[in-house]
């Protein structure tokens, strides 16, 4: 195991994170604050409570997941796309580094950044709503697993993308609708029956549901299914990454 | 210098997805401790060959062994020995010089060694710029940074792909000084260049690659001797209109202004024919005031090879 390489990549990526810390943290925190004001305070006052949870508190797990998913994807995608775009990837390819080690460095750093962001959003939420976390261990577990698997997904996206446009297309066109329709702002049970069924094909539903369960002990789907879904997604991403490195797809022509 | 190969390339071919056949079954042994110059026109396959040895491009067929390690099966050990300075100025932008060079050492699996990094930066006159962001440096300085990155992990084999393309005289000079120092320390150096006089100055052996085929590998001295032609130029006392037709059988050329005659001969021949030439010129009353001979450069040899 080339530990020095993992450390070097991780440090390199974290240095990039800290260079742009203010910009990259400020915008998600600001948008989350806006959600709290609009949905939590203004609309939430009329909605009352969902599943016995005050609406402003009800949306916290979802609002935590939204930026977590988006930032994990775009961070990791950018982290590996940049060297490809700038040509500096030659060094990684010529180094005695295995696929697994490269992933640990890049995805580890992206996930770390996402966790920092998640913590920051939880702190921000405190200013707007008092909330209680019923299963803190599972909350952290969902946070870490989500950050890891979606950073991995972003890494794949960054490897696949061959233009900045493509890099943005997946977060914009796929992740935004999935997250908005993933039950961040409502319980799936509030939807008409047909849409409830359709929602079950949306992986984000399982993530937000699992996260909400860790907060309030209430979920749209069984928490075990949520956990299985996220672990399955993680395994799938790992398999794709290892295939990419083995075959050289888009890396070694 | 031992003749045991440090890099052994066998039957390596490469066909890109586009169908372009960049290399056609190349066999090449690089000797330990030598400076090997790979010459060839643009698109001949030089960079592809280097990229395969360094692990950036997968070969379609064939195998490469670097310092006893197969580059595919035992890639970690093989790549740890190899340093690469790419042709393009692919550098980080926002990182400082010292950070990007330190990164390279770590990437190649070595523990941090600030003393070594300092030595490398000082040798390349980068020490004063160590805290500058790479993007703020000039092209020549970026080239130095790439060299420093390649040397950060103390490679035994160093690939320099067109290291002096677009580089000013001073840096070229520094670079060749450094290459000589590295060679003295036992580093094997493989370089590609367009500046043939550099290969002529620096290299122990020369390989010429054309359309993906290695058409020649030779000791530089032997190559120069084998293919070298000499020319004798005679500056005439009185300009000639044309060469007298009695002398037309000789390989003579009259300069445009009729002031000089050039005689081309082969250095390999026992008899150069100079004495005979001078006698016959005298017999025709052609007098000359000066003469000099010159040997054809590697460039002439190269041009004649790739055109043939």
A92-103 pLDDT, tens digit per residue, is: 999 999 888 888
Rounded-to-integer distance, Cα A15 and Cα B59, Å: 35
Tally of CB atoms within 10 A around B175? 23
Residue A188 has pLDDT above 90, yes or no: no
| Residues in chain A closer than 8 A to B16 (CB atoms) | 253
Q: What is the mean pLDDT of residues B177-188?
A: 90
| Interface contact A85, partner B, CB < 8 A | no
Residue B247 has pLDDT above 90, yes or no: no
Residue B300 has pLDDT above 80, yes or no: no
- The least confident of A207-216, A236-245, B110-119 is A236-245
Q: Of B56, B86, B103, which has the smallest distance from its Cβ to A252's Cβ?
A: B56
Distance from chain centroid for Cα A242: 21
Residue B270 has pLDDT above 90, yes or no: no
Residue B230 has pLDDT above 90, yes or no: no
Chain B, nearest residue to A89 by Cα: B90
- Beta carbon pairs, A and B, within 8 Å: 84
Tokens coding B63: 């195998």
| Residues in chain A closer than 8 A to B112 (CB atoms) | 4
- Residue with the larger pLDDT of the pair B43 and A142: A142
For residues B168 and B138, the answer to whether their CB atoms sit within 8 Å is no
Chain B, nearest residue to A246 by Cα: B58
Q: What is the mean pLDDT of residues B233-242?
A: 84
Instruction: Return the pLDDT at B187.
Output: 94
Q: φ, ψ for residue B148 (rounded to 5)?
A: -60, -40
CB contact under 8 A, A9 and B107: yes
CB contact under 8 A, A96 and B86: no
A133, A135, A138, A139: CA torsion to nearest 10: 0
A56, A59, A61, A66: CA torsion to nearest 10: -130
Residue B180 has pLDDT above 80, yes or no: yes
Residue B113 has pLDDT above 90, yes or no: yes
CB contact under 8 A, A94 and B56: yes
Instruction: Return the pLDDT at B91.
Output: 86
CA distance A9 to chain B (A): 7
Top residue of B72, B109, B157 to mutate, by most chain A CBs within 10 Å, is B109
Chain B, nearest residue to A20 by Cα: B94
Instruction: Return the pLDDT at B297.
Output: 65
Rounded-to-integer distance, Cα A6 and Cα B205, Å: 38
CB contact under 8 A, B107 and A91: yes
CA distance A175 to chain B (A): 29
| Interface contact B234, partner A, CB < 8 A | no
| Residues in chain A closer than 8 A to B82 (CB atoms) | 94
Provide the chain B residues 132-191 that lie in CB contact (below 8 A) with chain A: 149
Rounded-to-integer distance, Cα B84 and Cα B158, Å: 6
Instruction: Return the pLDDT at B23.
Output: 92
| Interface contact B109, partner A, CB < 8 A | yes
Residue position matching structure tokens 């530990």: A3
Q: Which domains does chain B have, with CATH numbers?
A: 5-225 (3.40.50.300), 228-307 (3.30.70.1560)
The pTM assigned to this predicted structure is 0.82
| Interface contact A4, partner B, CB < 8 A | yes
B204, B209, B215, B218: CA torsion to nearest 10: 0
| Residues in chain B closer than 8 A to A1 (CB atoms) | none
pLDDT band at B291 (very low <50, low <70, confident <90, very high): confident
Q: Where are the domains of chain A?
A: 3-247
Helix (H) or strand (E) holding B289: strand B288-295
| Interface contact A1, partner B, CB < 8 A | no
CA distance A94 to chain B (A): 5
Instruction: Return the pLDDT at B145.
Output: 93
Instruction: Return the pLDDT at A160.
Output: 87
**Residue B161 CB contacts under 8 Å (≥ 6 apart), including other chains:** B46, B47, B50, B84, B85, B86, B87, B191, B192
Order across the sheet with B21-31: list the strands: B21-31, B5-15, B61-66, B69-70
| Residues in chain B closer than 8 A to A11 (CB atoms) | 103, 106
A3-39 pLDDT, tens digit per residue, is: 999 999 999 999 988 888 888 788 888 988 898 888 8
A59-115 pLDDT, tens digit per residue, is: 899 989 988 998 899 999 999 999 989 889 999 999 999 888 888 999 999 999 999
CA distance A126 to chain B (A): 35
Residue B211 has pLDDT above 60, yes or no: yes
Residue B272 has pLDDT above 70, yes or no: yes
pLDDT band at A249 (very low <50, low <70, confident <90, very high): low
DSSP type of residue B154: -
Q: How many CA atoms lie within 13 A of B95 on its CB side?
A: 25
Residue position matching structure tokens 């950050």: A147
Q: Of B55, B103, B108, which has the smallest distance from its Cβ to A12's Cβ?
A: B103
Q: What is the mean pLDDT of residues B205-234?
A: 82
DSSP string of B111-149, one letter each residue: ---HHHHHHHHHHTT-GGGTTSBGGGS-HHHHHHHHHHH
What is the distance between the terminal CA atoms of chain A, rounded to a whole angstrom? Answer: 26
Instruction: Return the pLDDT at A227.
Output: 92
| Residues in chain B closer than 8 A to A19 (CB atoms) | 94
Instruction: Return the pLDDT at B1.
Output: 47
ipTM rounded to 2 decimals: 0.84
- Residue with the larger pLDDT of the pair A166 and B269: A166
| Residues in chain A closer than 8 A to B133 (CB atoms) | none
Residue A246 has pLDDT above 80, yes or no: no
Instruction: Return the pLDDT at B228.
Output: 63
A222-244 pLDDT, tens digit per residue, is: 899 999 999 999 999 989 988 88
| Residues in chain B closer than 8 A to A253 (CB atoms) | 16-17, 57-58
What per-residue string of b and e applies to A49-83 under the rule 16 or more CB within 10 Å gives b? ebeebbbbbbbbbbbbbbbbbbbbbbbbbbbbbbb
Instruction: Return the pLDDT at B267.
Output: 67
Tally of CB atoms within 10 A around A167? 22
CB contact under 8 A, B109 and A5: yes
CB contact under 8 A, A2 and B58: no
pLDDT band at B150 (very low <50, low <70, confident <90, very high): very high
What per-residue string of b and e applies to B3-22 under the rule 16 or more CB within 10 Å gives b? eebbbbbeebbbeeeeeeeb
Between CA B173 and CA B182, with CA B178 as vertex, the angle to 5 degrees is 150
Q: What is the mean pLDDT of residues A32-49?
A: 83
| Interface contact B97, partner A, CB < 8 A | no
Residue A43 has pLDDT above 90, yes or no: no
Q: Of A4, A90, A98, which has the smallest distance from its Cβ to B56's Cβ?
A: A90
CA distance B22 to chain A (A): 12
CB contact under 8 A, A92 and B107: yes
CA distance B90 to chain A (A): 5
Rounded-to-integer distance, Cα A244 and Cα B66, Å: 25
Question: Of B246, B233, B245, B242, nearest to B274 (Cα)?
Answer: B233
């Amino acid at each position: 195991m080339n530990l020095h390489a993992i450390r070097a990549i991780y440090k390199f990526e974290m240095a990039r994170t800290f260079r742009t810390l203010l910009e990259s943290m400020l915008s998600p925190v600001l948008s989350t604050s806006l959600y709290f004001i609009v949905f939590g305070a203004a609309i939430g006052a009329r909605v009352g409570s969902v599943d016995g949870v005050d609406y402003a508190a009800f949306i916290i797990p979802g609002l935590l997941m939204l930026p977590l998913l988006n930032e994990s994807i775009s961070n990791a995608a950018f982290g590996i796309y940049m060297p490809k775009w700038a040509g500096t990837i030659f060094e990684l390819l010529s180094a005695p580094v295995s696929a697994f080690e490269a992933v640990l460095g890049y995805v580890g750093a992206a996930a770390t950044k996402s966790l920092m962001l998640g913590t920051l959003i939880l702190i921000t939420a405190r200013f707007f709503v008092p909330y209680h976390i019923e299963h803190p261990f599972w909350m952290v577990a969902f946070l870490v697993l989500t950050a890891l698997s979606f950073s991995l997904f972003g890494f794949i996206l960054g490897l696949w993308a061959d233009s900045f446009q493509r890099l943005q297309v997946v977060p914009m066109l796929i992740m935004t609708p999935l997250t908005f329709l993933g039950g961040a702002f409502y319980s799936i049970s509030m939807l008409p029956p047909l849409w409830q069924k359709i929602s079950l094909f949306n992986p984000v539903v399982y993530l937000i549901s699992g996260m909400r369960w860790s907060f309030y002990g209430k979920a749209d789907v069984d928490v075990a299914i949520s956990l299985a879904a996220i672990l399955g997604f993680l395994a799938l991403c790992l398999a794709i990454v290892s295939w990419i490195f083995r075959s050289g797809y888009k890396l070694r022509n | 210098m031992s003749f045991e190969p440090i890099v052994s390339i066998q039957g390596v071919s490469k066909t890109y997805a586009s169908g372009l056949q960049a290399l056609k079954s190349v066999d090449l042994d690089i000797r330990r401790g030598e400076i090997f110059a790979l010459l060839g026109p643009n698109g001949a396959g030089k960079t592809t060959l280097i990229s395969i040895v360094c692990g950036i491009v997968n070969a379609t067929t064939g195998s490469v062994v670097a310092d006893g390690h197969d580059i595919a099966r035992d890639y970690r050990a093989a790549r740890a020995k190899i340093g690469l300075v790419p042709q393009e100025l692919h550098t980080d932008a926002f990182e400082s010089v010292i950070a990007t060079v330190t990164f390279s050492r770590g990437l190649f699996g070595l523990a941090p060694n600030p003393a070594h990094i300092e030595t490398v930066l000082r040798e390349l006159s980068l020490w004063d710029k160590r805290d500058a962001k790479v993007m703020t440096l000039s092209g020549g300085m970026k080239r130095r940074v790439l060299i420093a990155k390649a040397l950060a992990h103390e490679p035994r084999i160093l690939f320099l792909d067109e290291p002096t393309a677009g580089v000013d005289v001073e840096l070229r000079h520094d670079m060749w000084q450094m290459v000589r120092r590295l060679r003295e320390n036992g580093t094997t150096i493989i370089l590609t260049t367009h500046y043939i006089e550099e290969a002529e100055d620096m290299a122990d052996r020369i390989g010429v690659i054309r359309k993906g085929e290695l058409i020649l590998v030779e000791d530089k001295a032997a190559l120069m001797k084998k293919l070298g032609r000499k020319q004798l130029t005679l500056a005439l006392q009185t300009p000639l209109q044309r060469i007298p037709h009695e002398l037309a059988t000789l390989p003579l050329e009259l300069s445009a202004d009729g002031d000089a005659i050039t005689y081309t001969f082969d250095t390999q021949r026992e008899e150069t024919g100079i004495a005979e030439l001078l006698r016959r010129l005298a017999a025709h009353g052609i007098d000359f005031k000066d003469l000099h001979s010159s040997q054809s450069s590697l460039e002439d040899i190269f041009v004649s090879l790739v055109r043939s």
